[in-house]
Amino acid sequence: MEKEIEYRWCTYCMIKTKQEIVFLPKIPTYKRRRKYKCTICGKMTWLQGRRPSAESVY
């Protein structure tokens, strides 16, 4: 299985980093939280998914 990666804000590194999705809910709506792991520091956080209509804004 290929790892999914998103660029998200890391609260520990204080920069936008590559975040690996560790846990994705069975029904992935944008309000449901996903578990992300920072590829630089390894910190795991639960973050809300991005809105599909606003992907280009981020």
pLDDT tens by residue, 4-18: 899 999 999 999 999
CA dist 45 and 34 (Å) reads: 8
Whether 23 maps to a domain, the answer reads yes
Query: Could you list the residue range(s) of the whole structural domain that residue 9 is in?
Result: 5-50
Whether 57 maps to a domain, the answer reads no
The count of domains in the chain is 1
CA dist 36 and 53 (Å) reads: 21
Whether 32 maps to a domain, the answer reads yes
Q: What's the whole-model pTM score?
A: 0.78
Question: Which residues are bridge partners to 34 per DSSP?
Answer: 47
Residue 56 has pLDDT above 60, yes or no: no
Whether 26 maps to a domain, the answer reads yes
Amino acid letter for position 45: T
Residue 53 has pLDDT above 70, yes or no: no
Whether 55 maps to a domain, the answer reads no
Cα 50 off chain centre by: 8
pLDDT given for residue 50 in this prediction: 80
CA dist 27 and 32 (Å) reads: 8
